[in-house]
A and B are shown apart, each in its own frame.
Chain A
Amino acid sequence: MFSIMKHKWVFMGISFALMIVSVISLIVRGFNLDTDFAGGIAVTYEIKTDFNTEDVQKIVDEALGSHQSPSSIQRSNNDEVVVKFGYENDLKTEADRSAFSLDRVTKITTALQEKYDPNASGDDSKVLLKNQDIISPSTGQDLARSALWMSILACIAILFYVTLRFEFVSGVVAIFALVHDVLILLGLYSIMQWSVDTNFIAAILTVLGYSINNTIVIMDRIRENTRHARKESYSEIADKSILQTMNRSLNTTITTLLTIGMVYILGVKSIQVFALPIIIGIVIGFYSSVFVAGPLWATWRDSAVNAKKKA
């Protein structure tokens, strides 16, 4: 039968390599922060007639005027265009910034309507503002701060609970698996430069809470098998426990992926960006629970036993 413990160095090696790559990318590349964090203006228009992005770019440039703030135009879904731009640097107060943002959005909306649907009135217009996010830079900072607090709080609370229910080594291993999952998830987003928004925080915290599930079920089985064990080493116990719970780990991961996967496949864009990190996190969580947490625990405990024997 396949033994995970025999290949533990391969599995743990992969994990450590991925973690190191993630840390490096986080330091060197950082995140591609979305409007939510970085502050700025993002407006989605639906234009129900032929248009090209160059014309839209021209309109946006004109509306923004001589004080160019960086802007981007992105076409999506064929009839939608996402216009993003930042605040001008010389806007010192929040009052200036809010006046600037609303004014420019109105200008762009009016200009687009004049160009693509000059005769329209009211709601029948072929140019519709579908979605707009105007976020001041200070809000983004607040958001980042509260996200950090929530994650730290969650980690501490989970560590507390796991240490309470299991012994200390299990607690540390479970938290290690947790940090591992979140770190690699963050690293992936950093490497790919996928944009990070508010909902990403909710996704990360979901992964924090959920990816530990598999680890705990395995730890629970180890706890039980240790009680009945006589001469087996911790490695043997871990191997046995992981294999006994393998079906369960797989099946649970599959059912969860089935539902959140459907959300990703059928959902609108804003919900897809939310579902994707959860999906990735669940997969990484499965790997760390099954291939890393158990072996790490057993190696730690066995080496403690060996050290005692030698002494």
Chain B
Amino acid sequence: MSRSIVKFMAIILVIAAITYVGIAGLDFSDKVKIPGVTDEGGITQGLDLKGGTVIVFEADAENPSDDDMSTVIQTIRKRLDLQNYTEATVTRQGSDKIRVELPDVQDANKAVETLGATAQLVFAETVTQDPSDSNKVTVDKQVMTGDQVKDATVEYGSSDGKSMGKNSYRINLTLTDEGRAAFAEATGRLVGQPIYIVMDNSVISAPRVNSKIDSNTCEITGEFTADEAKALAANIKSGRIPFNLNQVEVRTVSATLGEEALDNAVKAGIIGLILVMLFMLICYRLLGFMADIALVSYIGIVLIILANCHVNLTLPGIAGIILSVGMAVDANVVIFERVKEELRLGKTVRSAVDAGFDRALAAVIDSNVTTIISAVILWVLGTGTIKGFGITLFIGIVVSMISAIFVTKFLLKQMIGMNVKNLWLYGISKKSQVEEVKGGKA
């Protein structure tokens, strides 16, 4: 008996610790930290909670190629960086759409204009630093515009074309005839000096001219990494975004609305949780108490996952978690009803619990798998808030099965060890106990 109590107390402590970490996080040292949901940045809030703007652009072209689409995405990213929207995300949606999520941006009009416009790419001879913003410049003398670059590609190899040369990434430019003339004239004068490549008033590269270039192709060499080279090529090309972008979806949620929604949802979750715990306690008494402890562990685990896997939490996502609290006890209800039946047949608590778990396991798994199927489909194929719902529903159901089966079973074993024999505590009334036991023996 005493060993069971020790184990029981131990698991309660573990569950309390898990829940605490889930809520408040844990800092081992400055480097090793487990964020909790209340930590700054612990939860990645979706735009419907923290407020912001979602813009979906559609390519104004039939079947745009993957290359073109990634060029456009690179461009939008670059523009977002230049505008200091560091928290913005850009993702491709379907074959011809790009989804841009801008936290805290209320002025959708302005965002659409800056992002959707064709980039202002300029090759400049001289530029002047903007006195108010160190990242910005104004172009004094222009060599040519981005429109005069036909293509920009990344190549890997030795720069002089010989096998002995050092391999590096470089960018091949293909110029229009007009661009070639302008470039030849400028490079003739500027040998040894840099040419500034300026996008949206910001220098993105300043290669030095080695010699006069009078050709439709030229290359920019330097110590590029593969990613840098690709980004630069994409940016140069973006002066020529291959198609127009139309925004087909713009959604703005104000921060106050998001905050209100979050507060209410958290309140609903806590009250719902308490109601479910009370319900289990009333229906299943001691067993229900164990299920409640398991439910707390479920909450703790879900919170830790949310805080550490950077799940994008949306409003339907929170609803998914709250819903799964209700579903979480389902496995326990199935098992406990079975245990009660076995007890009524006059079995000992130990064998009733064993039989209950064994017989109920198939039903628990079968009934949860179908919900998991739906959740995965929403997660993988859904977009926006629906995706967020699919993810949290999936996490909720999987964790709930684990907590209901393993944690509850462990708890019940310790309970058996403590030798509680009063059947009332298992949710069986004295009267039905006598009748059923008699009936069972007859």
**With A157-B373, A268-B261 as given contacts, are A244 and B341 in contact (CB-CB < 8 Å)?**
yes
CB distance from B359 to the nearest CB of A (A): 7
B225 within 8 A of partner (CB): no
Contacts of A209 in B (CB 8 A): 370-375
State whether A150 touches B377 (Cβ < 8 A). Answer: yes
A115 within 8 A of partner (CB): no
B182 within 8 A of partner (CB): no
State whether A139 touches B393 (Cβ < 8 A). Answer: no
State whether B264 touches A266 (Cβ < 8 A). Answer: yes
- From A138, A198, A266, A271, give the contact of B384 (CB < 8 A): A198
For the complex, give the distance between the alpha carbons of A202 and B382 in Å: 9
- From B250, B371, B386, give the contact of A202 (CB < 8 A): B386
**With A132-B251, A217-B334 as given contacts, are A266 and B373 in contact (CB-CB < 8 Å)?**
no
A224 within 8 A of partner (CB): yes
**With A198-B384, A202-B389 as given contacts, are A258 and B249 in contact (CB-CB < 8 Å)?**
no
Contacts of A97 in B (CB 8 A): 246
A119 within 8 A of partner (CB): no
CB distance from B411 to the nearest CB of A (A): 18
CB nearest neighbor in B for A224: B359
CB distance from B112 to the nearest CB of A (A): 6
CB distance from B399 to the nearest CB of A (A): 15
Contacts of B381 in A (CB 8 A): 146, 149-150, 153
Contacts of A136 in B (CB 8 A): 58, 246, 248-249
Binds A, one of B164-172, B184-192, B323-331: B323-331
For the complex, give the distance between the alpha carbons of A105 and B257 in Å: 19
A21 within 8 A of partner (CB): no
Most buried by A among B94, B109, B319, B382: B319
Contacts of B244 in A (CB 8 A): 95
A75 within 8 A of partner (CB): no
Contact with A along B280-316 (1 / 0, CB 8 A): 1001000000000000000000000000000000011
Contact with B along A113-130 (1 / 0, CB 8 A): 000000000000000111
**With A139-B248, A150-B377, A259-B325 as given contacts, are A252 and B60 in contact (CB-CB < 8 Å)?**
no
State whether A94 touches B264 (Cβ < 8 A). Answer: no
State whether B374 touches A208 (Cβ < 8 A). Answer: yes
- From A98, A105, A130, A135, give the contact of B256 (CB < 8 A): A130
**With A209-B372, A255-B326, A268-B260 as given contacts, are A202 and B378 in contact (CB-CB < 8 Å)?**
yes
State whether A161 touches B326 (Cβ < 8 A). Answer: no
State whether A259 touches B323 (Cβ < 8 A). Answer: yes
User: Chain A: interface residue count, which band?
Assistant: 35 or more
Binds A, one of B29-37, B197-205, B269-277: B269-277
State whether B109 touches A206 (Cβ < 8 A). Answer: no
For the complex, give the distance between the alpha carbons of A256 and B323 in Å: 6
CB distance from A241 to the nearest CB of B (A): 11
State whether A265 touches B367 (Cβ < 8 A). Answer: no
- From B246, B254, B333, B386, give the contact of A198 (CB < 8 A): B386
B362 within 8 A of partner (CB): yes
CB distance from B328 to the nearest CB of A (A): 9
For the complex, give the distance between the alpha carbons of A164 and B106 in Å: 51
B407-426 residues with Cβ-Cβ distance < 8 A to A are: none
Contacts of A201 in B (CB 8 A): 382, 386
State whether A131 touches B257 (Cβ < 8 A). Answer: yes
State whether B378 touches A150 (Cβ < 8 A). Answer: yes
A10 within 8 A of partner (CB): no
State whether B316 touches A202 (Cβ < 8 A). Answer: yes
For the complex, give the distance between the alpha carbons of A244 and B60 in Å: 61
State whether A267 touches B374 (Cβ < 8 A). Answer: no
A32 within 8 A of partner (CB): no
Contacts of A134 in B (CB 8 A): 108, 247, 249-251
User: Could you tell me how many residues of chain B have their Cβ less than 8 Å away from some Cβ of chain A?
Assistant: 75
CB distance from A158 to the nearest CB of B (A): 5
- From B267, B322, B334, B383, give the contact of A248 (CB < 8 A): B334
CB distance from B369 to the nearest CB of A (A): 6
State whether B322 touches A263 (Cβ < 8 A). Answer: yes
CB distance from B396 to the nearest CB of A (A): 11
Most buried by A among B253, B326, B327: B326
State whether A210 touches B327 (Cβ < 8 A). Answer: yes
Contact with B along A69-113 (1 / 0, CB 8 A): 000000000000000000000000111011001100110000000
**With A271-B319, A275-B319 as given contacts, are A263 and B248 in contact (CB-CB < 8 Å)?**
no
For the complex, give the distance between the alpha carbons of A202 and B279 in Å: 28
Contacts of B384 in A (CB 8 A): 198
For the complex, give the distance between the alpha carbons of A230 and B350 in Å: 29
CB nearest neighbor in B for A158: B370
CB distance from B281 to the nearest CB of A (A): 12
Contact with B along A255-299 (1 / 0, CB 8 A): 111111111011110110011001000000000000000000000
State whether B326 touches A260 (Cβ < 8 A). Answer: yes
- From B252, B275, B374, give the contact of A206 (CB < 8 A): B374
For the complex, give the distance between the alpha carbons of A134 and B386 in Å: 18
State whether B261 touches A270 (Cβ < 8 A). Answer: yes
Q: List 25 A-B contacts (CB under 8 A).
A: A93-B246, A95-B60, A98-B247, A98-B248, A129-B252, A133-B250, A135-B248, A157-B377, A161-B369, A199-B316, A202-B378, A205-B374, A209-B372, A209-B373, A213-B370, A214-B367, A216-B367, A244-B341, A248-B337, A251-B337, A258-B272, A258-B275, A259-B276, A271-B261, A274-B316
The 7 A-B pairs with the shortest beta carbon distances in the complex, nearest first, are: A209-B374, A256-B326, A259-B272, A259-B326, A94-B246, A136-B248, A262-B272
B residues neighboring A (CB under 8 Å): 48, 56, 58, 60, 94, 106, 108-109, 112, 244, 246-254, 256-257, 260-261, 264-265, 267-269, 271-273, 275-276, 279-280, 283, 315-316, 318-319, 322-323, 325-327, 329-330, 333-334, 337, 341, 359, 362-363, 366-375, 377-378, 381-386, 389-390, 393
Beyond A220-B362, A254-B279, 5 additional contacts (C-beta under 8 Å) are: A94-B248, A98-B246, A131-B251, A213-B327, A263-B268
